[in-house]
Amino acid sequence: AEDWEEAYRLFRESGDRWGQAVSLDALSFIARTDGDYPKAAKISKEALHLFKELGDKAGIAISLFRLGTVAYRREEYLQAVSLFEQSRSLQRELGYPWSSANSLRMLGLVACYQGNYERADGLINEALVAFRQALRELHAEGGVVARNARYARNTQVLLKGMRALGFTTLLNDNEAGPI
């Protein structure tokens, strides 16, 4: 968490709002994993606000999902359903089958906890179909190794362009991941 807090501080000092949002998202994930749901919710709301200001639909979808997970853990099921449905709508719009399936899975779990087993069954079956489709797409692309190679190529193109514009990275190329 300390590294992400430092990253957030640096991004805030440099005025990098997207970097701030991503750092906040990581910090909210850590807080949720630690079971500190009030802190996770607060941080996720801050990240969501920044992603909305930036018009970053993928970031918005992630923040909504994180908030939905916190609501689920707090047994605030109506709020969780609303957040997961909003997240899923954006994920589908963006063409993210794996994320969309994950939202369906969480909606199914919420329905189960609410005692609506028929709805839970339908949602979880739909999630399985979506996960299968995501796996088919991954397989058609050549698997994890091929997708990772595509991500690495895209990252290099992006970094080359950003450096040509005068941007610098916080990490050396040999320390950074392909995404």
Cβ atoms of 37 and 55 within 8 Å: the answer is no
Summarize pLDDT for 108-145 with one digit per residue, the tens: 999 999 999 999 999 999 999 988 988 998 999 999 99
Summarize pLDDT for 136-170 with one digit per residue, the tens: 989 999 999 999 999 889 988 888 888 888 888 87
As given in the structure block, the two tokens for residue 75 are 């047994």
For 14-41, b/e burial (b = at least 16 CB within 10 A) is eebeebbbbbbbbbbbbbbeeeebebbb
Summarize pLDDT for 62-97 with one digit per residue, the tens: 999 999 999 999 999 999 999 999 999 999 999 888
Q: What is the dihedral of CA 31, 36, 42, 43, to 10 degrees?
A: -10
